[in-house]
């Protein structure tokens, strides 16, 4: 089943976000603390391993669905309203091999894509956890995920891509994510992939500790250094 978004709206000013750092660096926390998503927003999660199951996100209960059909129906019902929601997809038995995981991810992306509406009063925030596990190239993301990144903004969809790695993820993700949150890294190749773009010295990125970050907003030179607090 192919779903299509409606009401393309070029007047919308939406910038996607990328959060990259090693395990425990603060990526998931950053999606809640950087102010890009509010408690009352409509939020949908690709959550393969169920980290949001029975949890709250910004004080709101996350509802997790294990079948694509249930997920689609819940999301569709939610999008018919102006109310906020937090809806996650987590399969009961996640596939183990990358190509099956990717297939499933792209199905979820297709569902999210179909929920786009350039005239909807609320932005649909799509949090994609651990995208390094579902992408296969450092080049062009030629898929519905790439489509979400390139055209989602017109349909009021904001993509929040989360990755443990920077070097192997698609260029499309890096170039289309105007907001970049970069936490502590393990590998020099990952640091090098974004240091220049952030105009931050590789050594400064390598000096980050857990929960410390560089955050790039829209435009040039708009980079700040900070630490997440609870």
Nearer to ligand ADP, 220 or 230 (CB): 230
Q: Are 96 and 118 in contact (CB under 8 A)?
A: no
d(CA 12, CA 191): 32
Query: Out of Mg ion, ligand ADP, none, which partner does residue 146 contact, by CB within 5 to 8 A per kind?
Result: none
Of positions 17, 18, 28, 116, contacts ligand ADP by CB under 6 A: 28
CA distance 107 to 95: 14
Strands ordered across the beta sheet of 63-65: 63-65, 85-89, 42-46, 124-128, 157-163, 17-20, 179-182, 212-216, 223-227
111 in Cβ contact with 75 (< 8 Å): yes
Record the tokens describing residue 159, joined without a space.
Answer: 């993509």
The two structure tokens encoding residue 46: 């690709």
Site for ligand ADP in 161-220 (CB under 6 A): 210-211
Among 25, 123, 172, 177, binds ligand ADP (CB under 6 A): 25
The window from 26-34, 58-66, 72-80, 107-115 that contacts ligand ADP (CB under 6 A) reads 26-34
CA angle (159, 162, 167) in 5-degree steps: 115
Q: How near is the Cβ of 185 to ligand ADP at its closest, in Å?
A: 11
Q: Largest Cα–Cα distance of the chain, in whole Å?
A: 48
* C-alpha distance from residue 26 to each of 90, 126, 165, 212 (Å): 21, 18, 13, 8
Region near ligand ADP per CB under 6 A, out of 16-24, 93-101, 133-141, 169-177:
16-24
Among 27, 125, 180, 216, interactor with ligand ADP by CB under 6 A: 27
Contact between 28 and Mg ion per CB under 5 A: yes
**Binding partner of residue 220 among Mg ion, ligand ADP, none, CB under 5 to 8 Å per kind?**
none
State how far the Cα of 103 lies from the Cα of 97, in Å rounded to an integer.
10
Stretch that binds ligand ADP, among 23-31, 58-66, 75-83, 110-118 (CB under 6 A): 23-31
Q: Is 29 in the site for Mg ion (CB under 5 A)?
A: no
Instruction: Compare residues 196 and 227 and give the one whose CB is closer to Mg ion.
Output: 227
Q: Which is nearer to Mg ion, 27 or 86 (CB)?
A: 27
Which listed residue (29, 117, 163, 177) binds ligand ADP by CB under 6 A?
29
Residue facing Mg ion at closest CB distance: 28
Q: Say how many C-beta atoms besides its own lie within 10 A of residue 63's C-beta.
A: 17
**Would you tell me which residues interact with Mg ion (CB under 5 A)?**
27-28
**Would you tell me which residues interact with ligand ADP (CB under 6 A)?**
21, 23-29, 210-211, 230
């Amino acid at each position: 089943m192919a779903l299509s978004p409606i009401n393309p709206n070029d007047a919308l000013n939406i910038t996607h976000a990328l959060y990259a750092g090693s395990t425990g660096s603060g990526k998931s926390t950053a999606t809640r603390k950087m102010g890009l998503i509010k408690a009352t927003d409509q939020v949908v999660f690709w959550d393969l391993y169920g980290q949001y199951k029975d949890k709250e996100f910004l004080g709101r209960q996350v509802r997790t669905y294990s079948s694509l059909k249930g997920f689609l129906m819940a999301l569709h019902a939610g999008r018919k309203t102006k109310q906020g929601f937090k809806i996650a997809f987590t399969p009961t038995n996640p596939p183990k091999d990358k190509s099956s995981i990717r297939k499933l991810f792209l199905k979820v992306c297709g569902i999210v894509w179909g929920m786009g509406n350039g005239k909807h009063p609320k932005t649909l925030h799509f949090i994609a956890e651990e995208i390094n596990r579902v992408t296969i190239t450092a080049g062009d993301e030629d898929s519905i995920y790439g489509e979400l990144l390139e055209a989602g903004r017109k349909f009021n969809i904001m993509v929040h891509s989360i990755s443990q790695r920077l070097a192997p993820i698609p260029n499309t993700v890096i170039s289309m994510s105007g907001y970049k949150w970069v936490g502590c890294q393990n590998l020099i190749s990952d640091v090098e992939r974004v240091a220049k773009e952030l105009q931050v010295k590789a050594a400064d990125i390598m000096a980050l500790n857990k929960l410390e970050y560089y955050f790039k907003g829209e435009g040039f030179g708009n980079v700040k250094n900070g630490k997440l607090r609870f």
